[in-house]
Amino acid sequence: MANLLWSAFNVVVALGLLYATVQAARLLRQRFGITLAIFFSLGMVLLASRGSSPPAMPNANLLGSLPPGTPLGNGSAINTTTLGSGMKLMMLAEYFETAGVVKPRGLYAAIQGVVIGHRWRPVLGTATQAGQQLRYVAVLEHSWLLLGVPIFKQTQEYTGAMPLAAL
């Protein structure tokens, strides 16, 4: 719920700044002409977009880089965890399986849902075989943003298990 409230707060602040910019541009146009009002508006747009960046999380392998010559994976597993406020954490693991032994190659994380004012960045992760499941631990850095500028950061650990394809 806090994530959704923070997103709504970001939208309200952005709309308030937009309203203030329009009112200031109207005043500048009345007093000094349309040229100064246009330059002011463009400057405010550039200033507001300076701190913003896409909230999408990069597709980094949480298990680290693979050494050259590592065989391609021949299996994958996926797990979805609800984070609340309509957001979900989706974990994808790829692995190489031979004779019932699973060797994880990659662990990837993605956030699905409304992420205005939030950014998740993968830090590290592990994946191990536990019977017919792949157990994972993923650590993500969650940044709370106000108009694209980080205000607060926290590290969160997510754990779970994914069923493997029939071995």
Q: Which residue has the tokens 């108009």?
A: 147
Q: For position 135, what pLDDT does the model report?
A: 93
Domain assignment of residue 26, yes or no = yes
Q: For position 13, what pLDDT does the model report?
A: 86
Q: For position 22, what pLDDT does the model report?
A: 87
Domain assignment of residue 152, yes or no = yes
- Same domain, yes or no: 82 and 29: no
Q: For position 58, what pLDDT does the model report?
A: 55
- Same domain, yes or no: 46 and 79: no
Residue 139 has pLDDT above 80, yes or no: yes
| Residue 61: strand, helix, or coil | coil
Domain assignment of residue 104, yes or no = yes
- Please give the tally of structural domains in the chain: 2
- Same domain, yes or no: 44 and 107: no
Q: For position 166, what pLDDT does the model report?
A: 63
- Same domain, yes or no: 90 and 46: no
Consecutive H or E run containing 55: none
Domain that holds residue 38: 2-50
- Same domain, yes or no: 117 and 46: no
Spatial separation of the C-alpha atoms in residues 117 and 144, rounded to whole Å: 6
Question: What proportion of the chain, given as a percentage, has pLDDT over 70?
Answer: 90
- Same domain, yes or no: 79 and 141: yes
Please give the full DSSP string across 105-141, using - where no structure is assigned. Answer: EEEEEEEES--TTEEEEEEEEEEEEETTEEEEEEEEE
Domain assignment of residue 45, yes or no = yes
Domain assignment of residue 136, yes or no = yes
- Same domain, yes or no: 86 and 30: no
Residue range 131-147: mean pLDDT, rounded: 88
Summarised one tens digit per residue, pLDDT across range 40-62 is: 888 887 877 765 555 455 567 88
Choice among 44-48, 102-106, 120-124 with the minimum mean pLDDT = 44-48
Summarised one tens digit per residue, pLDDT across range 63-96 is: 877 777 777 788 888 999 887 677 888 999 998 8
Please give the full DSSP string across 19-81, using - where no structure is assigned. Answer: HHHHHHHHHHHHHH-HHHHHHHHHHHHHHHHHS----PPP---TT-PPPTTPPPP-EEEEEEE
Tell me the pTM. Answer: 0.69
- Same domain, yes or no: 35 and 88: no
Domain assignment of residue 94, yes or no = yes
Domain assignment of residue 124, yes or no = yes
Spatial separation of the C-alpha atoms in residues 107 and 60, rounded to whole Å: 8
Confidence grade of residue 110 (pLDDT, cut at 50, 70, 90): confident
Domain assignment of residue 154, yes or no = yes
